[in-house]
Amino acid sequence: MNYKHMLKIFAVLTLCTVYLLAFSHYGALAYRSISNHDQVLADGTMIGPLKLGGKSKAEARNELTEKINEWENSFQCTLRYMEVSVKVDPHSLFQFDINHTMANLKSGMKKPISVSIADDKLDQVISKNVPSLNPATINKALLKTILADRATALAVDPFDISLDQYLVSDSKYQTIVAEAFHQNIKPSAGIKAFINKFSNIKVNESSEFSVLDLIRSKNFSEASAKDLSILSSLMYELILQTNFSIIERNQSTSLPDYINLGYEAKVDPAFHEDFTFANPNKISYIIELQMIDNNLYASLKGMPFVYQYRYFIKDKQTFAPKLVKQYSPFVAEGSYVTKENGKDGTLIKMVREVRNQSGKRLESTIIGEDFYPPSPVVRVYGPLKTPLTDSGQTESGNADNVTDNQSETTAEGDSNSQQQDNNDKNNQTSSNQDTNSSKNNQNLGQK
């Protein structure tokens, strides 16, 4: 009996000992697990830029949530592409994961803020504000890294991101953005040589382009001034379809028959006459030149523009030529000979319109005004009849000397202001005729 009683007592004591040991061990673990939420974090504990030393985890979580909300309300980021700029809405673009950020945070630890940017959200921002830009042309991985770095640092200072800098270099995304034709151009040797030498002309980003600088850089001299003017005029028509700005453009005193009205861009190295324009974009473009049969073709290749650019001629005015009358004893009396047929003068304005993708006009700018003055009609008349005196002699005694060399200028539809110009030209022409009269008299004397 005593043996059994002692065995029971030993079993009870063993169970009590095991219970006490287990409770002391696992109870402490359970207590630490329950009270861990309110543990005070040591100095040096950080989440992103936030210093959380001396705070409990609950307090740290509340401060993180508060600072993220403040950052979202004060965040200032502008995405730019060519002429377009758009403010980024952080609420729709950034996704902060506070639970993931707080998970496994230990005292003294430094952890980044967990934030992500979904591709579809970024695509929506780009497509909505820059419809002409394919989101696939953007290096989104690099762009998201830049944006996420700002978010994890909770940086509030304003900053801009130029999408031009994140374009992929794959040429499959480049398209023809402008075209121009000159039809029925007989290709000269100079034009052929130019196209062979400069079939692909690079227009660098944020830079100026000069035709004279281009040919000088390659010591090219095979093309004449006429050839260069034809090619430059074709380039000018390309530039009108872009946001490029014209820096220098020259024109002749009369419109060449090989250039359409409004599109002349004269280039003459001998007189330092150049065609210069500037590419304001942070993207380079390529001008391609080709001869297709007798048609001169040019295209501008690169990334699409944000806006559409249209060009047209307006306010065309025509000025009738003046009639210049000259007199000569070598023309029969009462008749005249046309020395110069003359030509109408013209004034036009070249306008470039900017429209958005929906066709709404945003801006209209006069790019240039071309004026070609009229050339006068010159007619040489025979001598005027001179009235006789009572003695039967002419008043001057010699018909050949009577107003032989007078000259008068009249304008069709004269105005008072034109009459003054006519008087000035009369004086000049009369002087020239006096000289001719002197020579005529000498000739008659010799005869």
Residue 267 to residue 199: CA distance in whole angstroms: 18
**pLDDT, tens only, 87-140:** 888 888 899 999 998 888 888 888 899 999 888 888 888 888 888 888 888 888
Sequence-separated (6 or more) residues with CB below 8 Å from residue 14: none
Q: Which two tokens stand for residue 310?
A: 């249209």
Q: Which residues of the chain have pLDDT under 50?
A: 37, 391-447
Running DSSP on this structure, what letter comes out for residue 388?
B
Report the alpha-carbon distance of residue 217 to residue 65 in Å, rounded. 61
Largest CA distance in the chain: 192
CA distance 445 to 399: 14
Number of C-beta neighbours around residue 370 at 10 A = 19
> Taking the CB of residue 117, how many other CB atoms lie within 10 A of it?
18
Contact 236, 346 (CB under 8 A): no
Angle between helices 140-152 and 119-129 (to 10 degrees): 100
30-36's contacts with Cβ under 8 Å and 24+ in sequence apart are none
pTM: 0.69
Can you list the domains of the chain with their CATH numbers?
46-166 (no CATH), 174-305 (no CATH), 306-438 (2.20.230.10)
Burial of 336 (0-12, 13-18, 19+ CB in 10 A): middle
Count CA atoms within 13 Å of residue 7 on its CB side: 4
Amino acid at 146: I
Q: Is there a contact between 377 and 323 (Cβ–Cβ < 8 Å)?
A: yes
Q: What's residue 131's pLDDT?
A: 83
CB–CB of 41/56 below 8 Å? yes
In this prediction, residue 85 carries a pLDDT of 87
